[in-house]
Amino acid sequence: MITLTDIAYVRSGVADIETAVRFATDIVGLELATPSEAWVAHLRADHRHHCLALVQGPSGVISSGFAVAGPDELAAAETELERTGFRVRRGDLAEARSRRVREFIAFDDPFGNRLELVSQQETISRPVAFTRPAGITEFGHLCLDAPDVHEAYRFWNTRFNARVSDWLGDAACLIRIDPVHHKLAVFRGERPGLCHMNFQVATIDDVFRNWHFLVEHGVEIEMGPGRHPQSTAIFLYFLGPEGFTYEYSFGVRRIEDDAAWQPRTFDPDEPGSIDMWLGPVRRVSSQLQLASPEPAGPEPATSQPASTQPASTGPARLEPASTESVTTGRTA
């Protein structure tokens, strides 16, 4: 069992880094860290050095990072993943430095989402210098796509301290790794990708102030303001450059009595199951996973479910150096 202590970051490839950074700062409100690499912009929202890295190159999500407790736990996770048939690669020093972690490993989930487990992510004590007062308090959760959310949950639940908090039928699985109702979600999607990245805000007023701000600035509101009955969070989803969906939310439920919580199942087609205020709902845009030329994911002929496909193999690289661009604006 691999214990994830927190979510760490999203790393996303962008063809137009200037536009993407301008949106992340001037619109979303994140702090741009002092540049330390020519083609990487680090965006900060909380105690982490950054939670979003925008990397100049083909557009598409590069990886989603999760923290483990330390180097021993990382080594144990590496052994455990390899033992169960995953191809795992250790990041080199420069890659770890770019992520502001001491060490990390990379592998693909059975659906092709690139995951990274990190040890010793850098903390910054200085208050965040937000570009605008959006009210952001922290990086709240990330949401991945997989064609079968039940298979996806099996992957997370059998290997990690990941427990379902609630189901949205076959459409989504909301997963906790600590008392927060969900720090991870898996949404049904044909191709691997990042459905959205969430930032918590301090008050309900921030959600509505941000809504007006986004509308005034011509940003596409994908869904909300509304309220999810599962987490009780008041949400606002909006579309950034290159198919990247951001979310602000306030008031996420905490599950303090883990043993007593019974996951519930909601029918996504039932009115109010996604937005209990009965506003219009839609599937928000996902940014597709960059095709990875690196060997990762389960090896053939392992204990992986037969319905999953092993990832492609090739030379070891973590950065999106290929020419393939996979951004999409898919909605449903």
Contacts of 212 (CB under 8 A, 6+ apart): none
119 vs 198, beta carbon nearer Fe ion: 198
Q: Is 166 in the site for Fe ion (CB under 5 A)?
A: no
CB of 240 to Fe ion, least distance (A): 14
Residues 106/95, Cβ–Cβ less than 8 Å: no
Q: Which is nearer to Fe ion, 81 or 236 (CB)?
A: 236
Minimum separation from the CB atom of position 145 to Fe ion (A):
13
The nearer residue to Fe ion, 12 or 98, going by C-beta atoms, is 12
Read off the amino acid at residue 220.
E
Collapsing DSSP to helix, strand or coil, 110 comes out as coil
What whole-number distance in Å separates Cα of residue 292 and Cα of residue 25? 28
249 versus 327: smaller Cβ distance to Fe ion: 249
Give the residue closest to Fe ion by C-beta: 198
319 contributes a contact to Fe ion by CB under 5 A: no
Report how far residue 121's alpha carbon sits from residue 228's, in angstroms, rounded to the nearest whole number: 31
- What's the min distance (Å) between Cβ of 63 and Fe ion? 19
The b/e string for 98-108 (b: 16+ C-beta within 10 A; e otherwise) is: bbbbbbbbbbb
Q: 3-state SS of 1-21?
A: CECCCEEEEEEEEECCHHHHH
Distance CA 91, CA 65 (A): 12
The span of 104-112, 217-225, 242-250, 294-302 binding Fe ion (CB under 5 A) equals 242-250
Least Cβ distance, residue 198 to Fe ion (angstroms) = 4
Q: Which of 60-68, 124-132, 190-198, 265-273 is the region at the interface with Fe ion (rule: CB under 5 A)?
A: 190-198
Tell me whether strands 193-201 and 287-288 are parallel, antiparallel or unpaired: antiparallel
Residue of the chain from 247, 275, 294, 319 that contacts Fe ion (CB under 5 A):
247
287 contacts Fe ion (rule: CB under 5 A): no
DSSP assignments along 247-312, one per residue: EEEE---B---GGG---EEE-TTSTTSS-TT-----PPP-EEBPPP-S--EEPSSSSS-TTS-PPP
For position 198 contacting Fe ion by CB under 5 A, the verdict is: yes
Question: For residues 198 and 289, which CB has a smaller minimum distance to Fe ion in the complex?
Answer: 198
Which is closer to Fe ion, CB of 231 or CB of 308?
231
Other CB atoms within a 10 A radius of the CB of residue 84 amount to: 14
Closest CB to Fe ion among 113 and 198? 198
Sites of contact with Fe ion (CB under 5 A): 198, 247
